[in-house]
Amino acid sequence: MKKNIVIGTRGSKLALWQAEHIAGRISERFPAIEVTLKRIVTTGDKILDVPLAKIGGKGLFTKELENAMLSGEIDLAVHSLKDMPTELPEGLMLAAITTRADASDAFVSLRYKSLDELPQGAKVGTSSLRRRAQILKYRPDALTIDLRGNLDTRIKKLENQEMDAIILAAAGLKRLGLEQYITQILPNEICLPAVGQGALAIETRQDDPEVLSVLEFLNDSETIAAVTAERAYLREVQGGCQVPVGVYGKVSGGHLLLEATILKIDGTREVRAQIDGSCSEAEELGIKLAQQMLAAGGKEILDEVEY
């Protein structure tokens, strides 16, 4: 049994909470293992004045951590699964995916109780093309503004009245004890979440059987089925870049319902569909739904995306 495990983490409050949460669970299960954290700054943490979609999307928050894993500097990294590219570097793998928290997006406003209550032309902050497209579909009069930075920074911009509302992942707010800021949980009918939103992913080296065996207990089978379908869908649709795509898998009694949307960034066109089947077919269901939606006009919409 390994005596020491080093977890690499970004320095944000949420990243540290996630790393400490997993460290705590490992220590509780294996008290003989010493677990330490090592902070690593990623490209996504350094570049805060450019929209994510223009500088590469998901891999911005993982590349430096992955390099540290491959060099042996750290043993594993804890990520929000929604930040993980669908293709991982050679030699690395997702060793565990935890029980999913709330996958929803949250509407946060200090003056308005819901998306419906916003006045005409309200300023809504979000860093996500997916959120922007779905908000504009529901409220085409809204003015969406790019919003970068950690949760504290984003909430501060709201408090400074730079924006009327912001859209954030509910799970992140709840994990940091900031539930009081959630004004409305957006239903899937309005805003389908990002792939893997609400789940934590633990990435490590493929050739480290000791660490892999330690992490095995963290896996949640229902969450794995849902996010396997979601990630297969995203991989089939476009790979790893940020695009206006939402997808959510719901598992019940070994049955998987997968719903997805592809939208124009201005919300004026949408292809939306769902598919269901056995959890054992999760990968195939994700691929099949993606192919159906691309053929139904989704490919045309994605081909027109300009960042």
Active site residues: 83
134-153 in b/e burial notation, b at 16+ Cβ within 10 A?
A: bbbbebeebebbbbbebbee
CB 177 within 8 A of CB 151: no
CB 253 within 8 A of CB 138: no
Q: Residue 104 and residue 148: Cα distance in Å, rounded?
A: 19
Q: Which residues pair with 273 in a beta bridge?
A: 260
- Please report the DSSP string for 96-138 in residue order: EEPPP----EEEE-SS-SSGGGSPTT-EEEES-HHHHHHHHHH
Q: Residue 154 and residue 21: Cα distance in Å, rounded?
A: 23
Nearest to 243 by CA among 203, 283, 271, 284: 271
Nearest to 259 by CA among 267, 244, 249: 249
- Please report, for residues 60, 123, 124, 164, the alpha-carbon distance to residue 161 in angstroms, rounded to integers and kept in the order given: 29, 10, 11, 7
CB 69 within 8 A of CB 204: yes
